[in-house]
Chains A and B, each alone.
Chain A
């Protein structure tokens, strides 16, 4: 009795709350009323149940159970709400670790609070590179931030060009066009700027002709005028860079107009299961980069996606990367033998972790390294109501890209 008390006291001194209670408390922060938050939470629940079923996290002879706190950040509607939620997670729920986040503007504000409190914050949603640049610029303050998923916006450029080459090859083969015409349809946002500039510079070298750039608002509800103009330009490919609901509108209205051009690029809405329904089945042939699908990215991917579908009756989006974040956390905690954030940072920096979206290894900005054998991402296409992975072609489970029948 006395001995166990002493042991508990000793452990408590090392890492105050978590070990005294025999649990690790992880706050899952996300917009819980929206698909993003649902996936944050679902991915986290999968990780919690898997860890707890296996006995917990092994720390110095003790098994710690994972306890989750569901924190609704409401970040899509309000940035101050998100900061309040972060403070509440730390001060009220006494969370040891923070996982989640989605809207970059809100995550930047939440990052500050987490760093003030020197809490590990594992991002599973926001793609903006500024989050990582902070780490490089002011390491001592921002070192507690790690982005588990997705890859940062800059790496999306490489990923999209690689897949775009694949699409262009198809067009050359099937339509016999030497240099396919590309219309760039990018929402007006900072994250697309680098990609647009790179596209305008590199596409001619990849034997593609850029016929124009259209930049609607990310929340536009109607792109008729844009699409009419693109139709006129005779484009074969519409290179989309869309993160907002405009992605659905583009998919649907292209289908409605029977446009012969096909949409490829980044279309976050097209990554969701609901895309097919949202476009009223008009979104055929729309393709987009993707982070996770039921293909063998790593040996863990297919079992995870299968179990996820079984449990939640829908496919995971990249926000379910909270699963990877928590699994990664477990690995780091077991390796370091402590839940102390300062000791975990160097361990996480050195960790090479095989997750569901690839092999996660952090660079000096605490971003996952992009590249073959690390995290590459996927490209998927909607084919008759089914989301089919077509890139990288060598991944097990990939199927060929399809072109609309010539009309």
Chain B
């Protein structure tokens, strides 16, 4: 026990065995994180790295949407506004002021957050479909403005020739991967906190939330700002990665895309949309690499999404999680689906399940 290293190893192993490996979902997350982190070391193929880098960036974007739409119930149809704001702000600042992307990315984040506050403020009184459709308008208005000032924004071309964040391919990969892990775990923690609970309350019943003394407008503004800031981070990193910030970062298609990711993965989970991006983005790209089939990738994508939703209308991750894990009826803890007894309170799991299905 004297050796601190051995102690740490032992502590790590015990925690791994008792906290992580007992639940398939946790083991899966661990495997996924390790895979993301070691990928460039074991498989430094430039094409694969590019796909996974973009996947990471879109995963940040999808997770940010889920906080706003899934937890707070503010189903934004114009989330590309924040993505584009991050991309353009960071791109323009690094190009016109000559600052390092490491600085300008944060400018992009800040500006996106400000836009989030503005949009949130304008949409405070809207709810449901009104909010969704009104938010759809903002990226389009912003596109109009970009075209109106082409000297500044580059019009239909956007700003090009941006510097990358890191000099090497692997460096860029790690920037995206670590930003993704940090953003996703940060959002997940946030959504799991008291703050997340309040958001749940606002989504389910805003009047009741207000009646219990919650300043709902303030919470909504904050969640708009946080979500926009994270989306802005994704946009800024994206712009420096593909080295162009153009009007395509504000397209309706991108706004719809993030809604698809979110719902496909399962809303109000954070990990759901991330999983959806990690499944769908490489999948469509892979479909696109078939010579005869490549042009059909969007069709295949839409058909897959539709087919999966018909079987799993709540999204893919809640469905999978229900298959591999069961919730203890007594203490509400999650257990691996193979267990007969709850790992914490010892309550029987099988019989109850059997009687329920019978």
- B202 CB within 8 Å of chain A: no
In the complex, the chain A residue whose C-beta lies closest to that of B161 is: A134
Instruction: State in angstroms the CA–CA spacing of A66 and B147 once bound together.
Output: 42
Chain B CB within 10 A, most for which of A33, A70, A72: A72
- A193 CB within 8 Å of chain B: yes
- B247 CB within 8 Å of chain A: yes
B residues less than 8 Å from A130 (CB atoms)? 157, 160-161
A61-85 to B contact mask, C-beta < 8 Å, 1/0: 0000000001010100111110111
A residues less than 8 Å from B51 (CB atoms)? 84
Instruction: State in angstroms the CA–CA spacing of A315 and B75 once bound together.
Output: 48
Give the residue of A70, A79, A85, A87 whose beta carbon is less than 8 angstroms from that of B291: A70
A residues less than 8 Å from B150 (CB atoms)? 189-190, 193
Min C-beta distance of B202 to chain A, whole Å? 34
10 residue pairs A–B, Cβ–Cβ below 8 Å:
A72-B288, A79-B242, A79-B246, A83-B50, A92-B289, A105-B156, A105-B246, A108-B160, A112-B244, A193-B150
- A218 CB within 8 Å of chain B: yes
A residues less than 8 Å from B238 (CB atoms)? 80
- A104 CB within 8 Å of chain B: yes
Give the residue of B46, B54, B253, B297 whose beta carbon is less than 8 angstroms from that of A90: B46
Instruction: State in angstroms the CA–CA spacing of A134 and B288 once bound together.
Output: 30
Instruction: State in angstroms the CA–CA spacing of A80 and B238 once bound together.
Output: 9
- B272 CB within 8 Å of chain A: no
- B313 CB within 8 Å of chain A: no
Min C-beta distance of B46 to chain A, whole Å? 4
Give the residue of A80, A188, A190 whose beta carbon is less than 8 angstroms from that of B54: A80
Min C-beta distance of A81 to chain B, whole Å? 7
B residues less than 8 Å from A92 (CB atoms)? 47, 289
Instruction: State in angstroms the CA–CA spacing of A109 and B241 once bound together.
Output: 10
A residues less than 8 Å from B297 (CB atoms)? 74
Interface residues of chain A: helix, strand, loop or mixed (majority) = helix
A residues less than 8 Å from B160 (CB atoms)? 105, 108-109, 130
- A387 CB within 8 Å of chain B: no
A residues less than 8 Å from B246 (CB atoms)? 79, 105
Instruction: State in angstroms the CA–CA spacing of A359 and B280 once bound together.
Output: 47
Whether A77 pairs with B156 at a CB distance below 8 angstroms is no
Query: How many B residues, CB 8 Å from partner?
Result: 31
B residues less than 8 Å from A190 (CB atoms)? 150, 154-157
B276-302 to A contact mask, C-beta < 8 Å, 1/0: 000000000100110100110110000
Query: How many A residues, CB 8 Å from partner?
Result: 33
A37-80 to B contact mask, C-beta < 8 Å, 1/0: 00000000000000000000000000000000010101001111
- B243 CB within 8 Å of chain A: yes
Give the residue of B45, B288, B291 whose beta carbon is less than 8 angstroms from that of A74: B288
A95-110 to B contact mask, C-beta < 8 Å, 1/0: 0000000001100110
A residues less than 8 Å from B161 (CB atoms)? 108, 112, 130, 134
- A91 CB within 8 Å of chain B: yes
- B78 CB within 8 Å of chain A: no
B residues less than 8 Å from A85 (CB atoms)? 288
Give the residue of B157, B289, B294, B298 whose beta carbon is less than 8 angstroms from that of A105: B157
Instruction: State in angstroms the CA–CA spacing of A87 and B54 once bound together.
Output: 12
Min C-beta distance of A8 to chain B, whole Å? 26
Number of A-B contacts (CB under 8 A): 89
B207-245 to A contact mask, C-beta < 8 Å, 1/0: 000000000000000000000000000000010001110
Give the residue of A77, A79, A87, A134 whose beta carbon is less than 8 angstroms from that of B298: A77
Residues of B within 8 A of A (CB): 45-47, 50-51, 54, 147, 150, 154-158, 160-161, 238, 242-244, 246-248, 253, 285, 288-289, 291, 294-295, 297-298
Known: A32-B295, A83-B242, A84-B50. A108 touches B285 (CB 8 A): no
Min C-beta distance of A123 to chain B, whole Å? 14
In the complex, the chain B residue whose C-beta lies closest to that of A190 is: B155
Give the residue of B47, B248, B295 whose beta carbon is less than 8 angstroms from that of A91: B47
Instruction: State in angstroms the CA–CA spacing of A311 and B260 once bound together.
Output: 42
In the complex, the chain A residue whose C-beta lies closest to that of B51 is: A84
A residues less than 8 Å from B47 (CB atoms)? 84, 87-88, 90-92
In the complex, the chain B residue whose C-beta lies closest to that of A31 is: B295
A residues less than 8 Å from B147 (CB atoms)? 188-189, 217
- A128 CB within 8 Å of chain B: yes
Whether B244 pairs with A189 at a CB distance below 8 angstroms is no
Min C-beta distance of A376 to chain B, whole Å? 26
Whether B247 pairs with A105 at a CB distance below 8 angstroms is yes
Instruction: State in angstroms the CA–CA spacing of A87 and B51 once bound together.
Output: 9
Instruction: State in angstroms the CA–CA spacing of A90 and B48 once bound together.
Output: 12
B residues less than 8 Å from A77 (CB atoms)? 253, 298
Whether B294 pairs with A104 at a CB distance below 8 angstroms is no
Q: Which 5 A-B pairs have the closest CB atoms?
A: A190-B155, A91-B47, A108-B160, A105-B246, A109-B244
B residues less than 8 Å from A191 (CB atoms)? 156
A residues less than 8 Å from B248 (CB atoms)? 78-79, 105
Whether B242 pairs with A109 at a CB distance below 8 angstroms is yes
Whether A189 pairs with B155 at a CB distance below 8 angstroms is yes
In the complex, the chain A residue whose C-beta lies closest to that of B147 is: A188
Chain B CB within 10 A, most for which of A87, A105, A193: A105
Instruction: State in angstroms the CA–CA spacing of A88 and B284 once bound together.
Output: 14
Min C-beta distance of B170 to chain A, whole Å? 13
Whether A72 pairs with B295 at a CB distance below 8 angstroms is yes
Known: A33-B295, A74-B297, A108-B157. A84 touches B243 (CB 8 A): no
A residues less than 8 Å from B295 (CB atoms)? 32-33, 72, 74
Min C-beta distance of A211 to chain B, whole Å? 23
Min C-beta distance of A241 to chain B, whole Å? 13
Min C-beta distance of A77 to chain B, whole Å? 7
B residues less than 8 Å from A83 (CB atoms)? 50, 242
Known: A72-B288, A108-B157, A128-B157. A32 touches B294 (CB 8 A): yes
Min C-beta distance of B173 to chain A, whole Å? 13
